[in-house]
Amino acid sequence: MNKELVGVYTVWLRDVKRYFRDKPRVIGSFAQPILFLFVLGTGLASSFSVFGGGGGENFLNFMFPGIVGMTVLFTSFFSAMSIVWDREFGFLREILVAPISRTSIVVGKLLGGSTIAMFQGSIILLFAPLLNIPVTFVIFFKVLGIMFLISMTISTMGILLASVIKSMQAFQVITNFLLMPMFFLSGAIFPLNQTVKWMSIVAKINPLSYGIDAMRYVLLSDPGLQLYPLWLDILVLIVLVVLLSIMGAFLFNRQD
């Protein structure tokens, strides 16, 4: 048992070490959310006054939890998909031939991805005061918990895909056809409760929309913006993590 824990720790340690060593990646990962929030967000907010309607100020606040969620989404997805990368570069074999179970490898990867995602998400939280969103200690830990759940959901999805997908090309396709739609239809940048019917249906099966919903609840606590009750958000995420990680461990455990 102890040996497996060391295995989990080792896989986790490598991912975290690699992340912090890769300075361009650390810096680059803050650039995108900031761009989304302050350029796209400000632009969209001012467009409201052109096409009528108000609430531009509130729009940036609305978007903020979505951007935190977006950061967690992309970071944890790419971390999990680094398995494809490791396979391409051969390092995966070094891990696979080691005397630890495949399950420990999967758990190590999941925790590694979550750690990095939670770190990046927390950095985005530093911008909250600019938008007059209060982040107390309690709120911070609640957000941390939601980030962990989102990240575990997305990471397990990533691992599941990585055990099926063997090529970098397929990985690009996935990014465009799964990750981007998931993000757009998650309620991160526009509300889903007033939108067209098909969109709200797709949003219901999108795991990320539950994560964003929970994030928004914790950060803004504005019932008017909620899609579901908080307990439902959390329940859906937990069930997904459990189901997906069982499937992921199973698929990853298959030899060949």
Partner 1 sequence: MDNKKKNNNIIEVENLVKDFKGLRAVDNISFSVKEDEIFGFLGPNGAGKTTTINMICTLLSKTSGRIIVNGYDVSTDRNKIRNCIGMVFQDPSLDDRLTALENLHFHGLLYNIPRNALKSRAEEVLEMVNLTDRKNNLVMTYSGGMRRRLEIARGLLHYPKVLFLDEPTLGLDPQTRNKIWDYIVRLKKSKKITIFLTSHYMEETEICDRIAIIDRGKIIALDSPDNLKNKIGGDVVTIQSEDSARFKGYVKDITGIEADDEEEGVIRFEVKDSSRFIPKLIKDSPVKILSITARKPTLNDVFLDLTGREIREENASSRDDARMRMRARRH
29-62 core/surface letters (b: 16 or more CB in 10 A; e: else):
beeebeebbbeebeeebeeeeeeeeeeeeebbbb
Taking the complex as a whole, the smallest distance from the CB of residue 168 to partner 1 amounts, in Å, to: 11
Nearer to partner 1, 132 or 169 (CB): 169
Candidates 16, 18, 199, 202; binder of partner 1 (CB under 8 A) is 18
Is residue 146 a contact partner of residue 138, using CB atoms and an 8 Å limit? no
Max distance between CA atoms of the chain, in angstroms, equals: 64
Nearer to partner 1, 10 or 195 (CB): 10
Q: For residues 202 and 222, what is the distance between their CA atoms, to the nearest angstrom? A: 23
Taking the complex as a whole, the smallest distance from the CB of residue 57 to partner 1 amounts, in Å, to: 44
Taking the complex as a whole, the smallest distance from the CB of residue 100 to partner 1 amounts, in Å, to: 6
Q: Name the region of 221 (left: φ>0; alpha: ψ -120 to 50; beta: rest).
A: left
Tell which residue, 71, 68, 73, has the closest CA to residue 151: 73
What binding mask, one character per residue, do residues 76-95 give for partner 1 by CB under 8 A, x or -?
Answer: -------------xxxxxxx
Nearer to partner 1, 86 or 233 (CB): 86
Does position 24 bind partner 1 by CB under 8 A?
no
Does position 17 bind partner 1 by CB under 8 A?
yes
Nearer to partner 1, 22 or 57 (CB): 22
Residue for token pair 């696979």: 96
CA 91 to chain centre: 25
Is residue 118 a contact partner of residue 151, using CB atoms and an 8 Å limit? yes
* Total of residues contacting partner 1 (CB under 8 A): 26
**Angle at the Cα of 79 (from 173 to 181), degrees rounded to 5?**
40
Taking the complex as a whole, the smallest distance from the CB of residue 96 to partner 1 amounts, in Å, to: 6
Does position 53 bind partner 1 by CB under 8 A?
no
Does position 25 bind partner 1 by CB under 8 A?
no
Is residue 97 a contact partner of residue 51, using CB atoms and an 8 Å limit? no
What binding mask, one character per residue, do residues 91-120 give for partner 1 by CB under 8 A, x or -?
Answer: xxxxxxxxxxx-------------------
Does position 168 bind partner 1 by CB under 8 A?
no
Q: Which residues bind partner 1 (CB under 8 A)?
A: 3, 6-7, 9-10, 13-14, 17-18, 21-22, 89-101, 255-256
